[in-house]
Amino acid sequence: MSKTSIFLTGATGYIGGSVLTHLLNHPNVSSFEITAFVRDPEKAKLLEEFGLKTVVGSNSDLDKLEEATSKSDVVISTADADDVPAIKAILRGLKKRHDETGVAPILIHTVSFLVLTDDAHGHYAYETIYSDLDIPLIESLAATQPHRDVDLLIVEAGEQGYARTHIILPSTIYGLAQGPLFDKGISNKHSIQVPGLIKASWDRKQGGMVREGKNLWPNVHIEELADLYIILFDAALSNPKTANGREGYYFGESDEYLFYDLAKTVAQVLVELGRGSSEEPTPFSREEIDKYFAGVSGSAYLGSNSRARAERSRSLGWRPVKRTTDLLLSVKPEVEELARSGRINSF
């Protein structure tokens, strides 16, 4: 029997490295042929030691992306949620695959809960709670929301029927990623949002938030998020009726946190480690937001609400058990690891 060909982008990243780790530990791994799309040729060589094939290239190498996806039964895309030309190249490749084989290949693409955000700027919590089962509510999102342009292209491809498309939306992912890919420095072990807040707070020697920090966000632990990718991958492979296309939204959420509580925990950890003098977080100034968060959507993310329930994901059998207390407990080891590696001073 021929192997299932899997093409993965973002393998050197936090999410992609974790998904790859779980694929390599999958009971059916001997029936997979995994190809990673990697920018750094040195990392490509290291990945090959794990039995992977690699294609060296970046998202701007559109021909390479199209060619590689046209040979794949499954594409898992975790590199840059917002790259429209790249997703178009992936979809062209999948269409070619379908035209040649008559079978619709599987796409699992990663975006984020930024698509659900508002403009609260830390002032209030909003009431709307999205569900990945409530497609009309998702479809009511403005086309101008972050990631929406990419989502709509993917859904359209799924509705045309040449690919079975699925979109995973992780929330605030936390926890240091674990496993040999991370130990060997191939993949990035740090998330984006919590480390971003920690680095800013470390630099100003004080926990920070946007205004009062009254905004709410969901959270998910990296290991449990990687479980969701594998559960969806298994479901899509074994059952073509697994929700896809217009219905193919899967939220990665296991609990919800108040931004103030995260900021306060960071402030407390800084005091505990002798870096901060007050356990009470203070609002970031406009200048601080521009300085520290220009690369992660600034206050648009930091002060926003994004509320959601992962009901479709749970309907697949996904059972995340981590709670917001685990998010808060992850802050100290994250600070210690960032300080140990020196990354705490990089923005």
Ligand X SMILES: NC(=O)c1ccc[n+]([C@@H]2O[C@H](COP(=O)([O-])OP(=O)(O)OC[C@H]3O[C@@H](n4cnc5c(N)ncnc54)[C@H](OP(=O)(O)O)[C@@H]3O)[C@@H](O)[C@H]2O)c1
**Binds ligand X by CB under 6 A, chosen from 67, 80, 234, 279:** 80
Residue among 110, 268, 299, 313 that touches ligand X (CB under 6 A): 110
Which token pair is 155? 């859904």
Residues 6+ apart with CB under 8 A from 274: none
In whole angstroms, what is the distance from residue 235 CA to residue 230 CA?
Answer: 8
237 lies in the binding site for ligand X (CB under 6 A): no
Q: Which candidate, 74, 65, 96, 106, places its Cα nearest to that of 7? A: 74
Beta strands 255-258 and 216-221 are: antiparallel
Stretch that binds ligand X, among 68-76, 120-128, 191-199, 205-213 (CB under 6 A): 191-199
Binding mask 154-183 for ligand X (x = CB under 6 A): ----------------x-xx----------
Of 81 and 157, CB closest to ligand X: 81
CB of 277 to ligand X, least distance (A): 29
- The residue count for binding ligand X (CB under 6 A) is 23
In the chain, alpha helices (H): 14-24, 41-48, 62-69, 84-101, 135-139, 148-160, 180-183, 193-204, 222-238, 259-272, 286-293, 298-302, 311-315, 324-329, 331-341
Nearer to ligand X, 112 or 242 (CB): 112
Phi and psi of 164, rounded to 5°? Answer: -95, 110
Q: Which of 14, 182, 250, 292 binds ligand X (CB under 6 A)?
A: 14
Among 16, 122, 175, 207, binds ligand X (CB under 6 A): 16
Burial class (CB in 10 A: 0-12, 13-18, 19+), 210: buried
> Minimum distance between the CB of residue 145 and ligand X, rounded to whole angstroms?
14
Backbone angles phi, psi at 281, to 5 degrees: -70, 150
Nearest to ligand X of 35, 206 (CB atom)? 35
Q: Is there binding between residue 112 and ligand X (CB under 6 A)? A: yes
Residue 217, SS3 per DSSP? strand
Of 49 and 159, which has the nearer Cβ to ligand X?
A: 49
Among 23, 74, 76, 81, binds ligand X (CB under 6 A): 81
Establish if 58 lies at the interface with ligand X (CB under 6 A): yes
Instruction: State which of residues 5, 6, 8, 12 lies at the interface with ligand X (CB under 6 A).
Output: 12
Distance of closest approach, residue 252 Cβ to ligand X, in angstroms: 8
Among 15, 150, 228, 327, interactor with ligand X by CB under 6 A: 15
Which token pair is 318? 């996904």
Q: Does 195 bind ligand X (CB under 6 A)?
A: no
Compute the half-sphere exposure of residue 237: CA atoms within 13 Å on the CB side of its CA: 18
Percentages of the chain per state (helix, strand, coil), in multiples of 5: 45, 15, 35
The residue range among 11-19, 26-34, 94-102, 320-328 that interacts with ligand X, by the rule CB under 6 A, is 11-19
Q: CA 322 to CA 224: how far, in whole Å? A: 8
Residue 13 beta carbon to ligand X: minimum distance, rounded to whole angstroms: 2
The span of 78-86, 202-210, 265-273, 306-314 binding ligand X (CB under 6 A) equals 78-86
Q: What is the CA radius of gyration of the chain?
A: 20
**Site residues (vs ligand X, CB under 6 A):** 10, 12-16, 39-40, 58-59, 78-81, 110, 112, 170, 172-173, 188, 191-193
